[in-house]
Amino acid sequence: MKIFWRSLLTALKITLIILLVLALVGIGILGWYFYETTFSKTPSSNPLFDFIETLVPQRVTEPTEPLIPVLPTTEPTTEPPTTEPPTTLPPEPEHVVSTATIGTVGDLLMHKPVFDTCRQSDGSYNFESIFRYVKDTISSLDYAVANLETTFGGDNYKYQGNPAFNCPDALADSVREAGFDMLLTANNHAGDTLGPGILRTVERVREAGLEALGTQLNGEEPKFSIVEVNGIRIGMVCYTWSYNGDGNNFSLNGLTPVKDEGQCNYFTNNNPDKLYREAQQIMDQMKSQGAEATMMFIHWGVEYNTTENALQNTMAQKLCDMGFDVIVGGHPHVVQPVELLSSTVDPDHKTVVIYSLGNAVSNQRTGISDLFPPGYTEDGVLFNVTFCKYSDGTVYLEDVNVIPTWVDLRTTVGRYYHILPLDAARMDDWKQLLDLSDVGLSAATRSYNRTMGIVGEGINVVKQYLADAKDLRDANYLAAVYERMYAA
């Protein structure tokens, strides 16, 4: 009996074990089925998932790229930047804002052989050939001046040279076309066609679009001009010596006296006080009308002397003391020296003077007369002065230059007079530029050497002084800037 019950108990244990295993297997199968039918479905296809999702955390999927941890952000604590004292650039010092270069050539001494070469087949005149080689040089200037050593008296007077000059009107047009702006009409030949000739010359010059300086239509017209060149106002006046004159009548060249109605600016050598008195009045008038720089053009001296005389020295010093910046002389028909004068009134004022420009064109050829020093009457100068205006409105004389000129007479094909500019900077090209033969080149070189032998030293002195003055001026302007900065 014990054996029976022991066997029954063993069988029950085995049965219970088998049932437990089957239950576990069933539970596993049910779990697998529940997973596949529930968690493998998308929320939109299984409502049960939506419910379970509210109860359990969502699954986390592995990212396709490594995650970068995001740290909590806090407001950075930045230190204020290190500050340096502000650097203030100094203001620009006063500086040049404008320049004006005025160029003047010597005498257009129109002898009959000169203007006869300009006569056309129809009887008219064209003077272009005289200026053919100098035209580009003249046109490059800001303002150009020439001395008209003749008159435009018209057909009522004979066309001739010395002793009573009268030239065809066409010269004025050719002068303008060559680039000139002004003709000096006060010289010892200005009255060669008498009173009517003085008036007609002024009218003809003006009709050609040029300024006439030194003679005027009547005493009511000003005896000076203020020309504005590149924003710089330059007062200009021209005077000539006269054989005689008493304020009522005058004779410029020993001819019939002309009634003085203020038509010509003149003085006599034995009465230079007339020049000083009138020049001072003119200076005051020009300054009151805004002239920022001044030039005196003056006909004086002794013909054919290559140095100035004592009277020229005295007169130049008087004009310097009045405050003229530049004096340009003519009449001797040869070149005379350049000099730098110091005022005896204002120690800071200097005046540049060239005592004579010589001839720009003439028939005073070597060998024609024993009065002429060989070659020198064929020589002339293009004298250039440059004024500058600074940003504070002050005007200074900045520089001077000379270009020697030579009157070339060519007779190989026809007969022509040419003004040749002998620019040292282009000396190697003279032959080609000026169409010179070997003989002509040699003559041009001798002319250049003659002229530079007269003016070269003085020009160098003036240029050096003006360069030093500019350096000092600019240094003072710069120092003034820093002085104002530190004072502030």
pLDDT in tens, the chain (488 residues): 444 445 555 555 666 666 665 666 566 565 555 555 554 444 444 444 444 444 444 444 444 444 444 444 545 555 555 655 555 666 789 999 999 999 999 999 999 999 999 999 999 999 999 999 999 999 999 999 999 999 999 999 999 999 999 999 999 999 999 999 999 999 999 999 999 999 999 999 999 999 999 999 998 999 999 999 999 999 999 999 998 888 888 899 888 888 888 899 999 999 999 999 999 999 999 999 999 999 999 999 999 999 999 999 999 999 999 999 999 999 999 999 999 999 999 999 999 999 999 999 999 998 888 888 889 999 999 999 999 999 999 999 999 999 999 999 999 888 999 999 999 999 999 999 999 999 999 999 999 999 999 999 999 999 999 999 999 999 999 998 888 877 76
Of the candidates 335, 441, 442, the one whose C-alpha atom is nearest the C-alpha of residue 382 is: 335
pLDDT score for 247:
81
Q: What is the largest CA-CA distance in the chain?
A: 192
Provide the token pair at 418: 């040419």
Lookup: tokens for 233: 């106002």
Structure tokens at 51: 């419910």
**What span, in angstroms and rounded, lies between the C-alpha atoms of 423 and 3?**
153
Sheet-wide strand order for 249-251: 244-245, 249-251, 258-259
* Token pair listed for 149: 């050593």
Q: Is 93 left (phi over 0), alpha (psi -120 to 50) or beta?
A: beta
The pLDDT score that the predictor gives to residue 91 is 79
> Can you identify the CATH homologous superfamily of domain 96-482?
Metallo-dependent phosphatases (3.60.21.10)
Strand-strand pairing, 96-109 and 143-149:
parallel
Nearest Cα neighbor of 172 from 237, 118, 227 is: 118
Instruction: Quote the pLDDT of residue 42.
Output: 46
Say what the pLDDT of residue 89 is.
66
Measured in whole angstroms, the distance separating CA 465 from the mean position of its chain's CA atoms is: 21
> CA 484 to CA 222: how far, in whole Å?
44
d(CA 146, CA 110) in angstroms, rounded, equals: 13
CB 188, CB 198: distance < 8 Å: no
